[in-house]
Amino acid sequence: MRPLRIALVALLLAGCLGFRTDSPAPVDQSTSGTWTFLAPLPAPRQEVAVAALDGRVFVIGGFGEGGEPMASVDVYDPATNEWESRAPLPAPTHHAAAAVAAGRLYVIGGYTGGRLRWTTSDTVYQYDPTRNSWATRAPMPTPRGGLAAAGLGDRIHVLGGTSDRVTNAHEVYDAAANRWSSANPMPTPRDHLAAVAFQGLVWVLGGRESFIGTQYANVEVYDPATDSWRVAPPLPAARGGLAAAALTDRILVFGGEAPLRIFSATEMYEAASNRWIAKTPMPTPRHGIGAAVVGGRIIIPGGGRQPGLAATHVNEAYVP
């Protein structure tokens, strides 16, 4: 079995396998939502950090088409449907997390190094849009990549990821004080997860134990007021490498991967009915993605089109 397992991993890393999987959830018959194609990324990339700042979408770091780590930062303007380059990260980084707090954009953790030698990072970079420059801030206590981050007020909750093993770490960065603190750990250790701030709480969605290990449908919700977690209805399908976005009254998740599968699923959590429903699938199934909300549209740039390394320059927007 060992040679077969090695061969399977090699095929997945090369992006040679992957069956498209739609959502098994009940389909929303009222408003299924619409997708549109936008101006493509200047270059293919996946395992990116994505966030919205000042009405623009930042796509940061990741893997290029050949699996090389990237430091480049591309910014999409929905008003003009155009891209421009901004100052690159101080170091090429992939599998990082991005979030906005106190009106500033932060990129946290990730890995440096190429396909075979990944080194976990504890770095925190703050972007100054007036100077188009990056500054190094207080390092994260637990170096990790494949993590998730959610900005809530002046604080960023940084969750999960992998260092020497998958972790349930939950650390909070105070952007105003440039200081870290520990919070109640996630109930489920995982990486390649998604996180959003929704109605004053932090929601953590999906993720996995490892590339070919357990995939999670778990949805866990953190209340900063009580430093406690509760369980919410699980995702309709377990996977990692997905993206999530929060609107006023709903959460949406997109794409993802599991062994031999690539997800086109678009799924929405309705707070009023406490359930997940399926929406119009992504035109381009992808993983290693992020989502940003600008003007009621959810913009999802780049990602991998097959499990493993298969970077694309696709850029699509969803309107619920």
- pLDDT tens per residue, range 142-194: 999 999 999 999 999 999 999 889 999 999 999 999 999 999 999 999 999 99
Q: What is the CATH number of the domain that holds 196?
A: 2.120.10.80
Q: How confident is the model at residue 17 (pLDDT cuts 50, 70, 90)?
A: low
130 vs 153: CA distance, rounded Å: 21
State the pLDDT at residue 100: 98
140 vs 10: CA distance, rounded Å: 32
What is the span of the domain harbouring residue 103? 2-319
Domain total for the chain? 1
